[in-house]
Amino acid sequence: MAKQNFVGLVVSQGKMSKTVKVRVQRKVYDSRIHKELIKRKDYLVHDEGEICKEGDIVRIESIPKISSRKAFAIAEIKVNKGQQFALYEELAKKRVIEIEQQKGVETEQNKSNLLETISRIEALRKLDDVAIAYQASNVSETEREKLLKEINDIKDKYKIKSWPSTQEILPLDINKEEIQLNEIEHRRKFMTYILDKFYEPEMSQKREEILSQLSTKPLKKNIAKNLLRKYVLKPENEIPFPY
Amino acid sequence: MFANSVRAFSTGRIVLRRAPVAPISSLVPGHPRYAAKLFIEAQNPKHAKSIRRKERKLQRRIIRDVNNLKKYDETNKPFEVDPVLGQGGFMERIKREVANQDTRLAGGFDREEFEALVYGAEKAALDKAKGSSVLHEATKLAEERKKRALMTILHLRNTSVADKKKLAVKLAREEFSRSEGDSGSPEVQAAVMTVKIHFGMDHVRANKKDHEFTQYIRQLVQQRQRILKYLKRVRPEDYYLTIARLGLTDDVITREFPMGRQYFEDYKVWGEKKLIKHSDKVKKKMEQVAALRKKVSDYHEVAKEKFVLYKNSRLEKEKKIELKKLAKEEARLARAKLAESSESGNTNTST
């Protein structure tokens, strides 16, 4: 005769050595109400390797009785949900340490960015002062040279071409959107040129690279072109040639 | 430990030949040390049988006590971390960030952006006042004053708690969002609730009688539990990552938790004060558990002592066996030497 077999859920583990509690459900027909009811029974089951975790679905098999309440042993683990959860928990702990480190680096970066901006503003203020001093009438020739040198030093350090300048010297968040919008407009204007350029033979490799990023499947000609157009219209994407 | 205690009591035969562990006067019947006394008196062979019966009884009682305590501890397990505030997690960093006066300003303004904008305004004003040096200086001074006034208005020191909370919620939302603009995923909701709970608990700590607000926090804690339970059901991997980031543990989410007086007392929210007056029944029960715990710890102690004695006796036995072996070996060597010398003597005489 085949050994008695049940499939059940591990509901308690780690409280008794080498023993888990397995809940087995079965349907029983109630003749009074003519309906199938669910009946539960908990078994204490032998788990020699102590591999089961709470939440696993296991098959249990009858064995010769080994203690007053234990007459079953784990035969196989059908769904190792509990073990997976334990694994996730472990992985999460490692991941949290990584995230915290990353956040620490980011805050440091923010701080250094701020310091850099402040020092840049200080330099610009100084540049103003020096420029005014340079233009004043009662300055000797040697002093003037000194001031000129100072001006040039600051200009070189922060890569300023002219002063007062039309270029953007301090990047502002409120300007960012406008710049992006301009970029989009510009690209839209030259769209046919950009797409033609992309379909030239020397750009084929670059084009394939971009398309493989956008889609894993092989694409039809028209769909590929449309995707490329969308790619071009995103201002954060760089175009590998001047237009 | 438990296994040791039983073994130590059952190997009482060793103790028979030894001095008692404690003076007899301190041994009260019913105390586990009574067992030792029994063993000592067992030198009278007349009582040997009844004593052995008593010993077995004692063993059974020990097993029962230890198991009862184990069961009690299993059903009355404390939470691994604070079920409301958790331990560690991202809130510490967020609180630091919200109080960070160097890089942050009130109203969600960025210090870097602020500096750049103020400089731009100053530059524009100076350009307008070009020509006279006096006008230049005056404009500069005015702009400096403006900047200082703005700094005072926007300084984090001069903001309300609500403003700080808003900033903290924003940071939490950005940190936990799955993609940009996500404000409704369970992770984000749980993180935002955690921020609210942490800020709310500061208020609860300061305002003990604000029962309405305490109830609000209680509801938030339950809501967080509910949404994280849902996350566990649908995306278990994300669930474990989220609770680890929030500084919570699985049992805090899955077990029942009423944020009642017991919690406020246990986690000393309002200091050391006792908040719950136990009924006589509960007091009695607690006393019983304490007594049981004491008893079991006594068992462990006795078992430890017995185990040391047992180990020593084993060592002594081994030593004796070793000595015997050595003596045998020596005797054998001596015999061999004797035989050799006599043999060489024989050969000498023959030559």
User: Are the C-beta atoms of A198 and A231 separated by less than 8 Å?
Assistant: no
The verdict on a CB contact (< 8 Å) between A91 and B112 is no
Residue A182 falls inside a structural domain = yes
B-chain CB neighbours of A128 within 8 Å are 123, 126
- Do A26 and A56 lie in one domain? The reply is yes
B283: amino acid identity, one letter: K
pLDDT at residue A176 tops 50: yes
Residue A24 falls inside a structural domain = yes
pLDDT of residue B131: 72
B-chain CB neighbours of A136 within 8 Å are 133
Q: Is the CB of residue B111 less than 8 Å away from at least one CB of chain A?
A: yes
The verdict on a CB contact (< 8 Å) between A124 and B119 is yes
Residue B53 falls inside a structural domain = yes
pLDDT of residue B1: 44
pLDDT of residue B19: 42
- Do A70 and A14 lie in one domain? The reply is yes
DSSP 8-state symbol, B26: G
pLDDT of residue B264: 95
A-chain CB neighbours of B93 within 8 Å are 100, 103
pLDDT of residue A150: 83
The full DSSP string for B169-238 is HHHHHHHH-SSTT---SHHHHHHHHHHHHHHHHHHHHH-TT-HHHHHHHHHHHHHHHHHHHHHHHH-HHH
pLDDT of residue B43: 58
Q: Is the CB of residue B245 less than 8 Å away from at least one CB of chain A?
A: yes
The verdict on a CB contact (< 8 Å) between A173 and B111 is no
pLDDT of residue B45: 67
- Do A97 and A153 lie in one domain? The reply is yes
Nearest CA in chain A to B116: A170
pLDDT at residue A120 tops 80: yes
User: Are the C-beta atoms of B116 and A169 separated by less than 8 Å?
Assistant: no
CATH number of A12's domain: 2.40.50.140
Q: Where are the alpha helices (DSSP H) in chain A?
A: 81-135, 141-157, 173-189, 191-198, 204-214, 221-233
pLDDT of residue A77: 94
Along chain B (351 residues), what's the average pLDDT of each consecutive run of 10 residues?
45 39 45 50 67 86 92 91 92 90 84 90 87 84 93 90 92 93 95 97 95 97 97 95 95 94 94 93 96 93 87 92 94 90 64 45
pLDDT of residue B345: 62
Domain count, chain B: 2
User: Are the C-beta atoms of A58 and A77 separated by less than 8 Å?
Assistant: yes
Task: Provide the chain A residues 127-156 that lie in CB contact (below 8 A) with chain B.
Answer: 128, 132, 136
ipTM above 0.95, yes or no: no
- Do B111 and B150 lie in one domain? The reply is yes
The verdict on a CB contact (< 8 Å) between B110 and A173 is yes
**Dist CA B191 CA B335 (whole Å):** 87
- Do A126 and A70 lie in one domain? The reply is no
Domain count, chain A: 3
Q: How many CB atoms lie within 10 A of CB A32?
A: 5
Strands A70-79 and A35-46: parallel
- Do A68 and A111 lie in one domain? The reply is no
**Dist CA A24 CA A43 (whole Å):** 8
Predicted confidence (pLDDT) per residue in A10-34, tens digit: 999 988 899 999 999 999 999 999 9
The verdict on a CB contact (< 8 Å) between A91 and B119 is no
pLDDT of residue B288: 96
**Domain residue limits at A19:** 5-79
**Domain residue limits at B135:** 102-154
Q: Where are the alpha helices (DSSP H) in chain B?
A: 2-10, 34-41, 48-75, 90-98, 111-128, 133-154, 161-176, 186-206, 211-234, 236-246, 250-254, 261-266, 280-350
**Dist CA A140 CA A210 (whole Å):** 61
Residue B60 falls inside a structural domain = yes
Q: Which of A114, A171, A173 sits opposite B111 (nearest CB)?
A: A114
> Highest mean pLDDT range out of A99-108, A168-177, A200-209?
A99-108
Residue A242 falls inside a structural domain = no
- Do A57 and A123 lie in one domain? The reply is no
Of the candidates A62, A40, A60, A50, the one whose C-alpha atom is nearest the C-alpha of residue A13 is A50
Last residue of a domain, one of A79, A103, A123: A79
Residue B189 falls inside a structural domain = no
pLDDT at residue A166 tops 80: no
Last residue of a domain, one of A79, A110, A134: A79
pLDDT at residue A214 tops 90: no
User: Are the C-beta atoms of A121 and B112 separated by less than 8 Å?
Assistant: no
Q: Phi-psi region for residue B332, left (φ > 0), alpha (ψ -120 to 50) or beta?
A: alpha
pLDDT of residue B11: 40
- Residue of B66, B68, B119 to mutate, interface with A, max A Cβ within 10 Å: B119
- Do B55 and B121 lie in one domain? The reply is no
Q: Which of A91, A96, A121 sits opposite B115 (nearest CB)?
A: A121
pLDDT of residue B13: 39
For residues A219-242, average pLDDT:
89
Look-up of token digits 């583990």: A13
User: Mean pLDDT of all residues in chain A?
Assistant: 90
pLDDT at residue A91 tops 90: yes
Residue A222 falls inside a structural domain = yes
pLDDT of residue B18: 40
- Do A115 and A138 lie in one domain? The reply is yes
> Measuring CA to CA, how many Å separate B147 from each of B122, B125, B127?
9, 13, 18
pLDDT of residue A172: 84
Question: To the nearest whole angstrom, how far is the Cα of B203 from the nearest Cα of chain A?
Answer: 28
Q: Print burial letters for A197-233: b (CB count within 10 Å at least 16), e (below 16).
A: bbeeeeeeeebeebbeeeeeeebeeeebeebbeeebe
Task: Provide the chain B residues 128-157 that lie in CB contact (below 8 A) with chain A.
Answer: 133, 136
A-chain CB neighbours of B133 within 8 Å are 132, 136
Q: Which of B120, B127, B245 sits opposite A96 (nearest CB)?
A: B245
**Dist CA A82 CA A59 (whole Å):** 15
- Do B58 and B121 lie in one domain? The reply is no
pLDDT of residue B255: 93
- Do A64 and A19 lie in one domain? The reply is yes
Q: Is the CB of residue A93 less than 8 Å away from at least one CB of chain B?
A: yes
> Measuring CA to CA, how many Å separate B327 from each of B317, B320, B322, B337, B338?
15, 10, 9, 15, 16
pLDDT at residue A184 tops 60: yes
pLDDT of residue A69: 94
Hey, what are B281's tokens?
């029944």
- Do A67 and A94 lie in one domain? The reply is no
A131: amino acid identity, one letter: A
Last residue of a domain, one of A57, A79, A101: A79
pLDDT at residue A165 tops 90: no
Residue B210 falls inside a structural domain = no
Q: Is the CB of residue A91 less than 8 Å away from at least one CB of chain B?
A: yes
Cα-to-chain-centroid distance, residue A96 = 13
